[in-house]
Amino acid sequence: MLVEEFLKDLEELIMNVLDSRTSLEELSGWIDQSRELLQDPLLDDADAREKLDQLIDYLKPTVELPKERALKRLTNALGMIERYRSWHFFAKPDPSQAKQLSLDIKSARGVGPRREKLLRKLEINSLRDLVFYFPRDYEDRRRVISLKDLLLGEKVTTRGKISSVEMKSVSGMKIVAAVLADGIHHVLLKWFNQEFIYRQLQTLKGKEVYVTGTVKKGMFGGLEIVNPEVELVENSSALEILPVYPLTEGMSQKEFRRIVRQNIDCVAIVQDELPLELTERRKLIDLAIALYGMHFPKTTYQLEKSRERLAYEELLYLQLAMLFSRHTLDSIGGVAKKIEGKLAQEFLKKLPFQLTNAQKRAHEEIRQDLRSTRPMSRLLQGDVGCGKTVVAQLAIIDNFEAGFQAAVMAPTSILATQHYRRMAPSFENLGIKTALLLGETNKGEKERIKRLLRSGELSVVIGTHTLIQEDVEFDNLGLVVIDEQHRFGVRQREALISKGAAVDTLVMTATPIPRTLALAVYGDLDLTIIDEMPPGRKDVKTILVSVTKIDQVFDFVRKEVEDGNQAFIVYPLIEESDKLQVKAATQMYEKLSNEVFKDLRVGLLHGRMSQQEKDAVMEKFARGDFDILVSTTVIEVGIDVPNATVMVIENPERFGLAQLHQLRGRIGRSDRQGYCFLVVGNVEEEALERLKYFASTKNGFEVAEYDMKLRGPGEILGLRQHGLPDLKVADLIRDKQLLFRAREDAEFVMKNLDRFKALIEKIEKIYGERLKLVKVG
């Protein structure tokens, strides 16, 4: 047992005793037992050993002491543990060895021309870059497991003497084998195609070594370790936590570690820019010790504290940027809209369904925002199919009643057109003049729409990013609705908002984002979540099938069509290559319409078709004139054809799960059972695992969270697209609590701006671009 584990458990036990959940006797028994198990290189340090003994001796007599005094000791012991940690758990840089962080990497210790080149390849050009180049993992070698305790499958460091080293050739492969033994037990060590090991091992023969690697079962039942690392026991530095870096070819871990070790002391003079007030409040360690600890932590404790320190800083800056841009927006001010709600009532009366409670709540929140003088900046989130469109419609109607125009921006022409079709009739019914403006709208019509928008005769315009063009002007724009926001960059959002004097913004996204992540990425927006599906929806059945069974899938499709339903067949291929997608979809369309589904009505939809063509196809499919729609991913976002019950997706492994969830969301939009077939060919185990998870999970938030764990939230949310830098240390999933703290502190800073001038300057430096955008708006 390591000292840090001992103290952690001890701390917990003491707390339990203080809370009367454990007895003093139990505590004392545990101490006796556990101290026997202590084994830690930390205890080679006489002072560390002595202080630990003192702590234990201090606690021992508590069993015999009067209750009050015993409890007093326990409380004191908690403080002693804290102090012990700060004294003995941290490795620190040596300031006397520190060089300037700005030093070019070619002048760093241990770096010659060859290494310089490799380092530059890793984008390490200065000492600063080097110390901010963090490990991707760590190997904990502090614990030495004796040979008799080796367990299958575990990565361990064990100890023994090397004997009988030999090398043989098996079907062209050089295998080096050696035996590691401690006199009673032994294990086989094996290296493949590493002849140099053979010579190395000869020199180690008969000497005590540490061996690190994963224990496996050998061919003849015995235990073996393949490709282990071997170090002489004399070299005591082997017993520590070692960093594992993401490296490039030609640079080994050992080599890189040595370079970092030789230069790491420069962190001693790094400038810590976090205000003391915050670091003290959150008990964060110094930046220098954190940077040191990221590379060579003395304990897991130091590593955790180091990560926490650096992650907090990243998250704080991020939250400050968000709040700062929100602050700027608020200071511009808005108009309090007068909404009676009569029009909305009229609209609701004609709706063929009742709003869900979640929809009602969302509408109410938005209405409050519109009525307030603070400009609305709200994110409307909800799983696909929860009915966000109606809520947006209600917002537009309220806004109209107050006397303002509205603009609805969607990422694709298909979606904009669909919104127009679904919204316009009910708007016109209420006397709200509505138009559709797309890039491909003909010139005369475009001019007419722009004129009417300028004069105020048109009240609502629905369109694509055409809407942000300069010559689209409004008489009195009061509300902007942005659909499927993750497709738009921040710039585009802001460009549209700037077209009115006091615009309220409603952003809708169907990529379900867990609340914490929403805070991180949309931290400048208020959040409304629709967490309820319209009644009567059945969960879509998701089925993984092998491509060899595609005929059965097609049979199923046919049966559904015969029952009066419709189907999508999607050929995603690689997203970047639109051309390839079109080719695949087109070829399959030929085959399906001429052979497999010769007698059915098959349509084709892809991104290279003209808008008129796309519209015509979508319209026909929506009307039921096609039974089957063969498509690329154009249909991914937002399309609503409730009569479609089957979705067949080929090459689903090429997609992130969040995207697949979008696709799946196209069906199951009525009370009929929906089916989603994932047709997989030869895919890797990992991809299959992912798809299986997806098939078994219907909740979009869970899917998104799983996906983010695998691919990182940056990837999925497109942090860069949001004008945000990647987070290097913070992990938006693991560091949830830290994120909340950073948010709280950022709010504190915003309330006390004059006290944190330097910090704000720093934020402006990092996020200047993004903040400027907001200011312009």
Residues lying near ligand ADP in the complex (CB under 6 A) are found at: 353-356, 359, 382, 384-390, 510, 534, 638, 640, 642, 669
203 binds, among Mg ion, ligand ADP, none (CB under 5 to 8 A by kind): none
**212 vs 662 by CB, closer to ligand ADP:** 662
Window contacting Mg ion (CB under 5 A); options: 58-66, 421-429, 636-644, 668-676: 636-644
CB atoms within 10 A of CB 70: 18
| Smallest distance from Mg ion to CB 485, Å | 11
Do 415 and 392 touch, CB atoms closer than 8 A? no
Q: Which H helix or E strand runs over 574?
A: none
The CA angle 314-316-320, to the nearest 5 degrees, is 120
355 binds, among ligand ADP, Mg ion, none (CB under 5 to 8 A by kind): ligand ADP
Reference 526, options 534, 540, 535, 515; nearest CA is 515
Do 650 and 678 touch, CB atoms closer than 8 A? no
**638 vs 668 by CB, closer to Mg ion:** 638
| Smallest distance from ligand ADP to CB 628, Å | 20
Do 716 and 707 touch, CB atoms closer than 8 A? yes
385 binds, among ligand ADP, Mg ion, none (CB under 5 to 8 A by kind): ligand ADP
656 binds, among ligand ADP, Mg ion, none (CB under 5 to 8 A by kind): none
| Smallest distance from ligand ADP to CB 75, Å | 54
Q: Is 20 left (phi over 0), alpha (psi -120 to 50) or beta?
A: left
Structure tokens at 421: 């079709």
**592 vs 660 by CB, closer to ligand ADP:** 660
Structure tokens at 374: 């603070």
Window contacting Mg ion (CB under 5 A); options: 30-38, 246-254, 634-642, 703-711: 634-642
382 binds, among Mg ion, ligand ADP, none (CB under 5 to 8 A by kind): ligand ADP
Name the residue number minimizing CB distance to Mg ion.
638
| Smallest distance from ligand ADP to CB 659, Å | 14
534 binds, among ligand ADP, Mg ion, none (CB under 5 to 8 A by kind): ligand ADP
DSSP, residue by residue, 716-771: HHTTGGGT-PPPSS--TTTTHHHHHHHHHHHHHHHHTGGGGHHHHHHHHHHHHHHH
**63 vs 355 by CB, closer to ligand ADP:** 355
289 binds, among Mg ion, ligand ADP, none (CB under 5 to 8 A by kind): none
| Smallest distance from ligand ADP to CB 24, Å | 59
| Smallest distance from ligand ADP to CB 352, Å | 8
Size of interface with Mg ion, in residues (CB under 5 A): 1
Interface with Mg ion (CB under 5 A), residue from 638, 665, 700, 714: 638
**135 vs 638 by CB, closer to Mg ion:** 638
Upper half-sphere CA count for residue 2 (Cβ side, 13 Å): 21
Please give the Cα distance from 421 to 429 (Å, whole number): 13
Please give the Cα distance from 383 to 243 (Å, whole number): 41
Structure tokens at 120: 């530059």
Instruction: Answer positive or negative: Cα dihedral of 718, 724, 726, 730.
Output: negative
669 binds, among Mg ion, ligand ADP, none (CB under 5 to 8 A by kind): ligand ADP
**Per CB under 5 A, which of residues 181..240 are in contact with Mg ion?**
none
**194 vs 643 by CB, closer to ligand ADP:** 643
**211 vs 641 by CB, closer to ligand ADP:** 641
CB atoms within 10 A of CB 83: 12
| Smallest distance from ligand ADP to CB 242, Å | 49
Please give the Cα distance from 574 to 654 (Å, whole number): 7
Please give the Cα distance from 352 to 331 (Å, whole number): 41
Question: Using the rule CB under 5 A, is 512 a contact of Mg ion?
Answer: no
| Smallest distance from ligand ADP to CB 104, Å | 54
Do 231 and 238 touch, CB atoms closer than 8 A? yes
**Per CB under 5 A, which of residues 277..306 are in contact with Mg ion?**
none
Q: Which H helix or E strand runs over 510?
A: none
**263 vs 413 by CB, closer to ligand ADP:** 413
Do 16 and 22 touch, CB atoms closer than 8 A? yes
CA distances from 227 to 61, 138, 156, 215, 533 (A): 50, 17, 13, 10, 53
| Smallest distance from ligand ADP to CB 422, Å | 8
Relative to beta strand 223-226, strand 208-217 is antiparallel
**277 vs 531 by CB, closer to ligand ADP:** 531
| Smallest distance from ligand ADP to CB 602, Å | 24
Alpha-helix runs per DSSP H in 474-593: 490-497, 515-521, 550-562, 578-591
521 binds, among ligand ADP, Mg ion, none (CB under 5 to 8 A by kind): none
**263 vs 509 by CB, closer to Mg ion:** 509
**316 vs 639 by CB, closer to ligand ADP:** 639
Reference 431, options 401, 476, 451; nearest CA is 401
SS3 per-residue string spanning 330-376: HHHCCCCCCCCCHHHHHHHHHCCCCCCHHHHHHHHHHHHHHHCCCCC
Window contacting Mg ion (CB under 5 A); options: 432-440, 573-581, 638-646, 758-766: 638-646
| Smallest distance from ligand ADP to CB 390, Å | 5
**607 vs 642 by CB, closer to ligand ADP:** 642
Do 717 and 513 touch, CB atoms closer than 8 A? yes
> In angstroms, how far apart are the furthest CA atoms of the chain?
96
| Smallest distance from ligand ADP to CB 601, Å | 22
Reference 451, options 431, 470, 475; nearest CA is 475
**638 vs 723 by CB, closer to Mg ion:** 638
| Smallest distance from ligand ADP to CB 484, Å | 9
695 binds, among Mg ion, ligand ADP, none (CB under 5 to 8 A by kind): none
| Smallest distance from Mg ion to CB 227, Å | 52
Relative to beta strand 144-145, strand 377-382 is unpaired
Please give the Cα distance from 633 to 530 (Å, whole number): 26
737 binds, among Mg ion, ligand ADP, none (CB under 5 to 8 A by kind): none
Structure tokens at 58: 């201090």
Please give the Cα distance from 402 to 111 (Å, whole number): 69
**401 vs 484 by CB, closer to ligand ADP:** 484
| Smallest distance from Mg ion to CB 493, Å | 17
- Write the DSSP symbol of residue 272: P
**529 vs 759 by CB, closer to ligand ADP:** 529
Please give the Cα distance from 368 to 154 (Å, whole number): 57
Torsion, Cα of 195, 199, 200, 202 (10° steps): 130
Beta-bridge mates of residue 150: none
**484 vs 524 by CB, closer to Mg ion:** 484
Beta-bridge mates of residue 507: 379, 482
| Smallest distance from ligand ADP to CB 638, Å | 6
| Smallest distance from ligand ADP to CB 482, Å | 13
**157 vs 509 by CB, closer to ligand ADP:** 509
Alpha-helix runs per DSSP H in 89-206: 113-121, 127-131, 195-204
77 binds, among Mg ion, ligand ADP, none (CB under 5 to 8 A by kind): none
Name the residue number minimizing CB distance to ligand ADP.
387
384 binds, among ligand ADP, Mg ion, none (CB under 5 to 8 A by kind): ligand ADP
642 binds, among Mg ion, ligand ADP, none (CB under 5 to 8 A by kind): ligand ADP
Binding site for Mg ion (CB under 5 A): 638
